[in-house]
Amino acid sequence: MSEALPKKIGVYKPTQFLGHGAMGNVYLCHDESLNRMVVVKQMVPSLYDHGTFVERFEREAKILAKLNHPVIVQPYALWQETSGQYSLAMEFVYGKSLRVLLDKKPKPPLWAVMEILYNLSSALAEAHRYGIIHRDIKPANIMIDKNGRVRLLDFGVAHDENDQELTEDFAQLGTASYMSPEQIHDSKSITPASDVFSIGIIACELLLGQNPFRGTSLAETFSNIQKKKVSSKFFDASVPKEMVIFIQKMLSKDPKKRPMANDVAEFFSMNMRRYPRDLRPYILEWANATLNEAETTFTPAMYSEKKKLSFKAGLITGAVVSIIAAIAIHFF
Ligand SMILES: Nc1ncnc2c1ncn2[C@@H]1O[C@H](COP(=O)(O)OP(=O)(O)OP(=O)(O)O)[C@@H](O)[C@H]1O
Ligand SMILES: [Mg+2]
């Protein structure tokens, strides 16, 4: 993709055009003052012409900047040029998007699926606590960075409903296939539960190897999201049954029946208790192997429940021996 680079955007020097998303043009830039790379998004004028979007976006960007959550990509600055142009500078994530990785090789191992879902849901739980809804959860907005950390991009992004009608365009179909039923019905009725539905779709895509709602047209995709039930028969036998049931709950058509993002984080955290706490080296290895279309060989070992039981048994035995010894000393 070639696009003429502006000389400067605010105080930043553009070095590369990264793409054109729902909000507008995206540039990789150099911040000379701190000698670091940043990403700058220039909003399309139709977005800020409608006023209310900028108001909400500004309020949410301020809260996100304060949250300082390790998964949430940090906004650095939001400003308006004298020309009226709004721009947002944010942290540059050096890594690969989950979209790229899944296109190379679908179905990551179960531990990697749980690590991704845990990180996403805990970041969302934190944002939801402060009244912020993501609105655009999809693999293209999730990255695995160079340290093996899961990162979530593009909070609060709005698609301009007046200007950017959803079309049969490939990219639009990609975005549409992660929407919740209520989001399709009326984009203004989005609640935190809509983000949970989108995470449920990502959970299915990770475990099944494809998005079960994605159709060959926008109409088919929307109809699937509104009507289709994801049967437990679709999942491999290696996926725990209670995980399948939990994901089906996340995909309830009625938003009130879905768990909250915090419950989702708790669920995956519980299911990961037998794995090492820090899975980043393994995630990094998996991401690199996936990019090279190779098998992942460096995988985390699970602590066995048996070991835990024998530790418990050891404690009980120790206590009994001490009591017998104390009694023996008392009598002899
Ligand atoms: N903070 C960032 N760090 C690294 N790359 C980024 C960052 N933000 C965006 N990009 C990259 O820039 C490109 C355009 O991003 P953009 O978010 O505008 O589009 P999108 O993700 O396809 O759609 P959407 O607007 O719905 O999020 C993508 O390739 C994306 O991976
Ligand atoms: Mg994006």
Q: What is the mean pLDDT of residues 275-283?
A: 96
In the three-class reduction of DSSP (H, G, I as helix; E, B as strand; rest coil), residue 13 is classed as strand
Strand pairing report for 86-91 and 36-43? antiparallel
In the three-class reduction of DSSP (H, G, I as helix; E, B as strand; rest coil), residue 224 is classed as helix
**Tens digit of pLDDT for each residue in 218-252?**
999 999 999 999 999 999 999 999 999 999 999 99
Beta-bridge partners for 190: none
* Residue 153 pLDDT > 90: yes
Confidence grade of residue 325 (pLDDT, cut at 50, 70, 90): confident
Distances (CA, A) of 78 to 93, 198, 236: 18, 27, 45
Ligand 1: residue whose CA is nearest its atom 22: 21
| Residue 26 token pair | 């995206």
* Residue 42 pLDDT > 80: yes
**What pLDDT sits at residue 174?**
66
**Tens digit of pLDDT for each residue in 172-184?**
666 899 999 999 9
* Those residues with Cβ within 8 angstroms of residue 56's Cβ, 6 or more apart along the chain or in another chain: 156, 158
Please tell me the distance between residue 206's alpha carbon and the centre of ligand 1 in angstroms. 20
**What pLDDT sits at residue 105?**
96
* Residue 53 pLDDT > 90: no
Q: Is the CB of 39 under 6 A from ligand 1?
A: yes
Residue with tokens 């003052």: 33
Q: Is the CB of 90 under 6 A from ligand 1?
A: yes
Confidence grade of residue 322 (pLDDT, cut at 50, 70, 90): confident
Contacts made by residues 8-17, CB under 8 angstroms, sequence distance 24+:
9/40, 9/42, 9/87, 10/40, 10/77, 10/79, 10/81, 10/87, 10/89, 12/38, 12/40, 12/89, 14/40
Q: Is the CB of 248 under 6 A from ligand 1?
A: no
* Those residues with Cβ within 8 angstroms of residue 193's Cβ, 6 or more apart along the chain or in another chain: 180, 182, 255, 256, 258, 260
The percentage of residues in the chain with a pLDDT greater than 70, rounded to a whole number, is 91
- Spatial separation of the C-alpha atoms in residues 10 and 189, rounded to whole Å: 35
- Spatial separation of the C-alpha atoms in residues 10 and 229, rounded to whole Å: 48
Best mutation site among 141, 145, 163 for ligand 1 pocket (most ligand atoms within 8 Å of CB) = 141
Please tell me the distance between residue 203's alpha carbon and the centre of ligand 1 in angstroms. 21
Best mutation site among 18, 150, 157 for ligand 1 pocket (most ligand atoms within 8 Å of CB) = 18
In the three-class reduction of DSSP (H, G, I as helix; E, B as strand; rest coil), residue 321 is classed as helix
* Residue 157 pLDDT > 70: no
Q: Is the CB of 73 under 6 A from ligand 1?
A: yes
**What pLDDT sits at residue 165?**
46
Confidence grade of residue 2 (pLDDT, cut at 50, 70, 90): low
Q: Is the CB of 27 under 6 A from ligand 1?
A: no
Q: Is the CB of 21 under 6 A from ligand 1?
A: yes
| Residue 121 token pair | 């849901």
Q: Which atom of ligand 1 is nearest to the CA of 143?
A: 31
Instruction: Please check whether residue 56 is in contact with residue 188, taking contact to mean a CB–CB distance below 8 angstroms.
Output: no
* Residue 326 pLDDT > 70: yes
Beta-bridge partners for 80: 86
Q: Which atom of ligand 1 is nearest to the CA of 41?
A: 18
Confidence grade of residue 103 (pLDDT, cut at 50, 70, 90): very high
Please tell me the distance between residue 308's alpha carbon and the centre of ligand 2 in angstroms. 43
54 vs 39, more confident: 39
Packing angle of the helix pair 192-208, 110-129 (nearest 10 deg): 170
**186 assigned to active site:** no
**What pLDDT sits at residue 332?**
66
Q: Is the CB of 175 under 6 A from ligand 1?
A: yes
**Which is catalytic among the residues 31, 49, 103, 136?**
136
* Residue 52 pLDDT > 80: no
**What pLDDT sits at residue 313?**
73
Residue with tokens 């994605």: 214
* Residue 195 pLDDT > 60: yes
The percentage of residues in the chain with a pLDDT greater than 90, rounded to a whole number, is 67
Q: What is the pTM of this model?
A: 0.88
**What pLDDT sits at residue 172?**
65
Ligand 1: residue whose CA is nearest its atom 19: 21
* Residue 160 pLDDT > 70: no
Q: Which atom of ligand 1 is nearest to the CA of 93?
A: 3
